[in-house]
Amino acid sequence: MSPLTDYHARIRESIPEAVLEARTELGNEILVVDAEHLVPAATLLRDEFGFEMLLDISGVDWVPREPRYDVNYHLLALDDNRRLRVKVQLPDVEAPHLPSVIEVWPAADWHEREVYDFFGFVFDGHPYLRRIFMPDEWIGHPLRKDYPVGGVPVEYRIEPAYVGANIVPSRARPAAGGVPARLRRDRGRQSHWTWTGPPASDVRREAGGAPASDEATPEEKAKE
């Protein structure tokens, strides 16, 4: 008889409606527990079955499945290296609530904060439920599936100052009209004797500065 059926049977004795499902998947034993009865079930697992260590709490957003969210508690019994995953399923509401297991395993403190930060689940009974990774004033919960990955669009443009650079790089030659100062090896450096003014990139455009010696500006204007 597998230990999973022991856990299921024992929990069913004292809290009949707690366990919704018990299955083994890919060598991991999983107990799906109802959110309301999470704390008594957790206490039972810790005291009677020796699951003293809470390794991790992880949330998963299974949109468009209903119930949308999964919260997995990964437990470890140190005596004989038994593992168990307790799963709580949460509905698709703006801020799903579930009880905090911080009284059962103090390790839950930061893990619950992490899950709140990334998914927005509210753990009732947690003494200091604040964001832990994102800045305090961040809006949104990044690991939800409707939150975009973010970032910037990356474009690979052909640099017009060099002809042939993208086809045969070793045969690239400067285009007619010269290479702009910012791409030259000496970066348009001027000597003390022939100083004609700061390079165009240093002069603020809004102030109407005159780009005296830099041929790039009409090119750049044409590009834009």
DSSP the chain: --HHHHHHHHHHHH-TTSEEEEEEETTEEEEEE-GGGHHHHHHHHHHHH---EEEEEEEEE-TTSSS-EEEEEEEEETTTTEEEEEEEEE-SSSS-EEE--TTT-TTHHHHHHHHHHHH--EEET-TT---SSS-TT--S-TTSTTS------------TTEETTTT-GGG-EEPTT---GGGSTTTT---GGG-----GGGS-TTTT----S-THHHHHHHH-
64 lines the binding site for other proteins (CB under 8 A)? no
Output 15 or 54, the one with its CB closest to other proteins. 54
Q: Strands 173-174 and 162-163, how do they pair?
A: antiparallel
Size of residue set near other proteins by CB under 8 A? 64
155 lines the binding site for other proteins (CB under 8 A)? no
Output 134 or 158, the one with its CB closest to other proteins. 134
25 lines the binding site for other proteins (CB under 8 A)? yes
Output 6 or 202, the one with its CB closest to other proteins. 202
28 lines the binding site for other proteins (CB under 8 A)? yes
Output 13 or 186, the one with its CB closest to other proteins. 186
Output 163 or 165, the one with its CB closest to other proteins. 165
Site string for other proteins, 163-182 (x = CB under 8 A): --------------------
Output 30 or 179, the one with its CB closest to other proteins. 30
Interface pick for other proteins out of 32, 129, 165, 179 (rule CB under 8 A): 129
Site string for other proteins, 65-84 (x = CB under 8 A): -------x-x-x-x--x-x-
Check the CA dihedral 123-99-20-28 and report its sign.
Answer: positive
Residues within the interface to other proteins (CB under 8 A): 25-28, 52-56, 58, 60-62, 72, 74, 76, 78, 81, 83, 85, 94-95, 105-107, 109-111, 114, 116, 118, 120, 122, 128-143, 147-152, 154, 189, 192-193, 195, 198, 202-204
